[in-house]
């Protein structure tokens, strides 16, 4: 039986609608709109597309969007000075510095400069640490979106075997923490893992976040597994436009899995939805208001 296809677009639209519905209450209580500042350094086409859609989604949710576009030659000090200005700007609840940054900029130093209470990406060590020890934290948007899809699909995740492929700070590591907090038995696999297909085969839940087009094949999967594909890879095509594929070979995997996210239309839309949610949560925290429960 073919797997059911998990509709990330619909799930994201639901979250965005819930966030937007909470904004007027915040405005009434705080006397201002929640504000998200997005910083883009350089002209990477993919980053430009992401930043444009983040700004649009922010405005559509009734929040203020502040966009800062900097030259690829910007110095580390100039970038840090901008982050400091945003940290002390009362109108800014969330700060997102789009990654990757140019090679001459120390990414970790920039992330460390962001006020953890405004770190809507959840990349600051304070938020990573809070997540690891089970304290309330701003959680990285992509794994948070994956978790939402998994809970929507599976209900309770308690006791399930989860294999996360990829160990990045942005996806793999926080994803593993989130699954552990849901009482999954978690394995983090990566490029040095021995016999990856065999490791993946024991998983009830597979999260693929390695950036290798169509790497995970159907015969790696336990029948009925739930597969979350975080990959976004563009393969060349004859017409020059390219074709987007994930880290999972959808054709073979969907014949074995119980449920699977498509690319595009799976995890991608969830990232922006969770960014808006994090911004609203950060805004409530900064205004001394209780964050609404039903986000
Ligand atoms: N680049 C790719 N994904 C992300 C993300 O979630 N946040 C930021 N800031 N940059 C990214």
Here the CATH number for the domain that contains residue 188 is: 3.40.50.720
In a mutational test of the pocket of ligand 1, which residue from 36, 39, 50, 68 has the highest number of ligand atoms less than 8 Å from its CB? 50
Q: Whose CA is nearest to atom 3 of ligand 1?
A: 99
Mean pLDDT for back-to-back runs of 10 residues, the chain (295 residues): 95 98 98 98 94 98 98 98 98 98 98 98 98 97 98 98 98 98 98 97 98 98 98 95 96 98 98 98 97 77
Residue 292 pLDDT:
81
Shared domain check, 93 and 146: no
Residue 277 within a domain: no
Q: Which residue has the tokens 């990285």?
A: 140
Report pLDDT digits (tens) over 10-61. Answer: 999 999 999 999 999 999 999 999 999 999 999 999 999 999 999 999 999 9
What CATH number does the domain containing 59 carry? Answer: 3.40.50.10860
* 44 and 108 in a common domain: yes
pLDDT for the residue 40: 98
Q: Are residues 147 and 106 in the same domain?
A: no
CA nearest ligand 1 atom 11, residue: 99
Q: Which atom of ligand 1 is nearest to the CA of 96?
A: 9
Q: Give Cβ neighbours of residue 224 (< 8 Å, ≥ 6 apart).
A: 204, 257, 258
Does residue 113 sit in the same domain as residue 216? no
The number of domains in the chain is: 2
Of 293, 261, 264, which is closest to residue 280 (Cα–Cα)?
A: 293
Q: For a ligand 1 pocket test, name from 96, 211, 268, 276 the mutation site with the most ligand atoms within 8 angstroms of its C-beta.
A: 96
Note whether residue 214 is domain-resident.
yes
pLDDT of residue 92: 98
Same domain as 169, residue 79: no
For this structure, is 98 an active site residue? yes
136 falls within a domain: no
Q: How far apart are CA 112 and CA 176, in angstroms?
A: 22
Does a cis peptide bond (omega within 30 degrees of 0) precede residue 264?
Answer: yes
Nearest CA to ligand 1 atom 8: 98
Same structural domain, 145 and 223: yes
User: Domain boundary residue among 122, 149, 169?
Assistant: 122
Give the list of residues 6+ apart from residue 239 with CB closer than 8 angstroms, or none.
none
Both 170 and 262 in one domain: the answer is yes
Residue 102 lies in a domain: yes
Residue 12 lies in a domain: no
Residue 168 shares a structural domain with residue 250: yes
Looking at the structure, tell me whether residues 109 and 152 fall in a common domain. Answer: no
| 147 shares a domain with 94 | no
Q: Is 49 left (phi over 0), alpha (psi -120 to 50) or beta?
A: alpha
Select from 226, 235, 221, 219 the least CA-distant residue to 266.
226
Q: Look up 121 and say whether it is catalytic.
A: yes
Q: How far is the CA of 142 from the centre of ligand 1 (A)?
A: 9
Task: Look up the domain containing 240 and give its range.
Answer: 141-268
167 and 82 in a single domain? The answer is no
Q: Please indicate, yes or no, whether residues 208 and 117 belong to a single structural domain of this protein.
A: no
Rounded CA separation 272/260 (Å):
20
The answer to the question of residue 15 being in a domain is: no
Active site residue 48: no
Q: Which residues contact 143 (CB under 8 A, 6 or more apart)?
A: 171, 174, 175, 178, 207
Q: What confidence score (pLDDT) does residue 41 get?
A: 98
Which numbered atom of ligand 1 lies nearest the CA of 47? 1
Residues whose CB falls within 8 Å of the CB of residue 235, separated by 6 or more in sequence, listed in order: 213, 242, 243, 244, 245
Residue 1 confidence (pLDDT): 74
Q: What is the DSSP letter of 248?
A: B
pLDDT of residue 293: 76
Ligand 1: residues with CB < 6 A are 96-99, 121, 141-142, 170, 271
Task: State the virtual CA torsion across 279, 100, 267, 204 in degrees, nearest 10.
Answer: -110
In a domain, 2, yes or no: no
Q: Count of residues for the chain?
A: 295
Joined tokens for residue 169: 């700070």
């Amino acid at each position: 039986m073919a797997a059911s296809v998990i509709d990330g677009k619909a799930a994201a639209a639901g979250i965005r609608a819930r966030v937007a519905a909470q904004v007027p209450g915040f405005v009434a209580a705080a006397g201002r709109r929640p504000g998200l500042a997005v910083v883009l350094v350089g002209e990477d086409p993919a980053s430009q597309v992401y930043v444009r859609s983040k700004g649009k989604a922010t405005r559509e949710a009734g929040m203020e969007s502040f966009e800062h576009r900097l030259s690829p030659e910007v110095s580390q000090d100039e970038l840090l000075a901008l982050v400091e200005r945003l940290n002390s700007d009362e109108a800014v609840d969330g700060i997102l510095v789009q990654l990757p940054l140019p090679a001459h900029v120390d990414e970790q130093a920039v992330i460390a400069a962001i006020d953890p209470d405004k770190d809507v990406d959840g990349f600051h060590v304070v938020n990573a640490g809070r997540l690891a020890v089970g304290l309330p934290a701003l959680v990285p948007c992509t794994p948070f979106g994956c978790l939402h899809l998994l809970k929507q699909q599976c209900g309770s995740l308690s006791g399930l075997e989860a294999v996360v492929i990829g160990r990045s700070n942005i996806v793999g590591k926080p994803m593993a923490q989130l699954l552990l907090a849901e009482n999954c038995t978690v394995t983090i696999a990566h490029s040095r893992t021995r016999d990856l297909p065999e490791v993946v085969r024991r998983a009830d839940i597979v999260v693929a976040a390695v950036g290798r087009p169509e790497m995970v094949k159907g015969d790696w999967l336990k029948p009925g597994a739930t597969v979350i594909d975080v990959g976004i890879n563009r393969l060349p095509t004859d017409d020059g436009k390219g074709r987007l594929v994930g880290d999972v070979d959808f054709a073979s995997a969907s014949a074995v899995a119980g449920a699977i996210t498509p690319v595009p239309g799976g995890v991608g839309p969830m990232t922006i939805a969770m960014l808006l949610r994090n911004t609203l949560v950060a805004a409530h925290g900064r205004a001394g208001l209780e964050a609404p429960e039903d986000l």
